[in-house]
């Protein structure tokens, strides 16, 4: 079982309006799409779509949390969320004729007791887990060492962990030695305090990140593909036929690719990540892949030692 952790799960709403978004005016929403969201939930949904055995855990609360849970149930994604008293956040994206504009609610406040509950449940779930994926932001009240804490618990249970976070959550998390850290260019640049604007700079920044505790870094660079940096090795993979489309959620699909190939050779893992990232770009909403695109892309990934 692959266990995904989403501590700041969300209800992702998409509002479709006619014409443009005009600040200062009122717009009628023509159609609404709602999905369970948060980066770990997106990873879980992609894995479920690929037929993997996955459990989504994390924190949900309030009516919005109920809704998140019911949407996951309807999709058939196994979920084991811990209930909190606060209200899970909503994200709203307004899709207009020529723009997509986002509004991100802040996450709910989480108490120390709720975090302790989650931590205890996580330990129990670890007994069934082959791989753990830790993705996304930490809601208010969660200690900044949360990911480090969970990574240590997983290591003690000999379960490999993938970490996709940013800022302090990433900085503290990497120190606990996750199996793979999966930053994008901006996250890697911030973590390493070095500019990341290409393959060579990603390798340099990745080497710097390895000294912080990670066992391997896979930097995701959009249509330029991904770069693996581990001690003594740098391997790049990229799509020969990049998909122009929706970049939101492509990183989550890459993480899903790495999570389902734990123990396999890096060439295979990176190819999987690249193909799933491209297949995610082919779908207008985050947290899903286009399966025919995935099958096609899988055959057209370039690999090069850097």
Name the token pair of 9. 């799960």
Name the token pair of 222. 């959009």
User: Is residue 20 involved in binding a second copy (CB under 8 A)?
Assistant: yes
Residue nearer to a second copy on the CB measure, 101 or 295: 101
How large is the greatest C-alpha to C-alpha distance in the chain, in angstroms? 57
What's the min distance (Å) between Cβ of 71 and a second copy? 12
CA distances (Å), 210 to each of 54, 90, 114, 190, 283, in order?
28, 35, 32, 14, 33
Spatial neighbors of 263 by CB under 8 A, at least 6 apart, are none
User: Is residue 186 involved in binding a second copy (CB under 8 A)?
Assistant: no
> Which one of 12, 164, 252, 290 is the catalytic residue?
252
User: Using an 8 Å Cβ cutoff, are 12 and 249 in contact?
Assistant: no
Q: Give the Cα separation of 183 and 39 in Å (integer).
A: 13
Q: Give the Cα separation of 91 and 13 in Å (integer).
A: 6
What's the min distance (Å) between Cβ of 88 and a second copy? 12
Residue nearer to a second copy on the CB measure, 24 or 263: 24
Measured in residues, the chain has a length of 306
Give the up-direction half-sphere exposure of residue 246: CA atoms within 13 A in the CB hemisphere: 19
User: Is residue 67 involved in binding a second copy (CB under 8 A)?
Assistant: yes
Burial class, 117, CB count within 10 angstroms (exposed 0-12 / middle 13-18 / buried 19+) = middle
Residues 100-159 close enough to bind a second copy by CB under 8 A: 100-106
User: Is residue 99 involved in binding a second copy (CB under 8 A)?
Assistant: yes
Spatial neighbors of 98 by CB under 8 A, at least 6 apart, are 20
User: Is residue 74 involved in binding a second copy (CB under 8 A)?
Assistant: no
The contact mask relative to a second copy for 29-58 (x = CB under 8 A, - = no) is xx-x--------------------------
What's the min distance (Å) between Cβ of 95 and a second copy? 11
Residues 200-259 close enough to bind a second copy by CB under 8 A: none
User: Is residue 168 involved in binding a second copy (CB under 8 A)?
Assistant: no
User: Using an 8 Å Cβ cutoff, are 224 and 200 in contact?
Assistant: no
Q: Which of 1, 80, 96, 262 binds a second copy (CB under 8 A)?
A: 96
What's the min distance (Å) between Cβ of 17 and a second copy? 7
> Which one of the spans 23-31, 150-158, 186-194, 238-246 is the region binding a second copy (CB under 8 A)?
23-31
What's the min distance (Å) between Cβ of 205 and a second copy? 24
Q: Give the Cα separation of 254 and 205 in Å (integer).
A: 19
Task: Verify whether residue 252 is a known catalytic residue.
Answer: yes
Residue nearer to a second copy on the CB measure, 3 or 79: 79
Interacting residues with a second copy (CB under 8 A): 15, 17, 20-30, 32, 63-64, 66-67, 92, 94, 96, 99-106
Residues with a catalytic annotation lie at: 252
């Amino acid at each position: 079982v692959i266990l995904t952790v989403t501590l700041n799960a969300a209800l992702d709403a998409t509002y479709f309006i006619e014409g443009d978004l005009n600040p200062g005016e009122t717009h009628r929403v023509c159609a609404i799409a709602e999905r369970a969201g948060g980066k770990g939930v997106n990873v879980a949904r992609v894995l479920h779509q690929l037929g993997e055995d996955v459990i989504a855990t994390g924190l949900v609360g309030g009516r919005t949390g109920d809704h998140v849970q019911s949407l996951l149930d309807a999709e058939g994604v196994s979920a084991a969320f811990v209930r909190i008293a606060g209200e899970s956040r909503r994200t709203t994206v307004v899709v207009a004729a020529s723009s997509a504009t986002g509004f991100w609610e802040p996450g709910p406040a989480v108490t120390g007791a709720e975090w302790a509950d989650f931590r205890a449940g996580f330990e129990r779930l670890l007994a069934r887990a082959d791989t753990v994926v830790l993705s996304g932001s930490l809601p208010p009240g969660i200690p900044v060492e949360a990911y480090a804490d969970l990574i240590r618990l997983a290591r003690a249970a000999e379960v490999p962990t993938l970490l996709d976070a940013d800022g302090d959550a990433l900085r503290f998390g990497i120190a606990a030695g996750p199996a793979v850290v999966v930053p994008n260019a901006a996250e890697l640049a911030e973590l390493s305090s070095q500019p990341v604007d290409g393959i060579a700079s990603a390798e340099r920044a990745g080497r710097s990140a390895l000294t912080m505790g990670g066992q391997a870094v896979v930097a995701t660079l959009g249509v330029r593909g991904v770069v693996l940096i581990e001690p003594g090795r740098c391997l790049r993979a990229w799509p020969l036929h990049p998909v122009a489309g929706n970049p939101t959620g492509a990183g989550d699909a890459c993480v899903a690719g790495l999570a389902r190939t734990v123990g396999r050779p890096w060439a295979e893992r990176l190819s999987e990540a690249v193909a799933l990232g491209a297949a995610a770009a082919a779908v207008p909403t985050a947290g899903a892949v286009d399966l025919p695109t995935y099958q096609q892309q899988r055959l057209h990934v370039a690999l090069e030692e850097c």
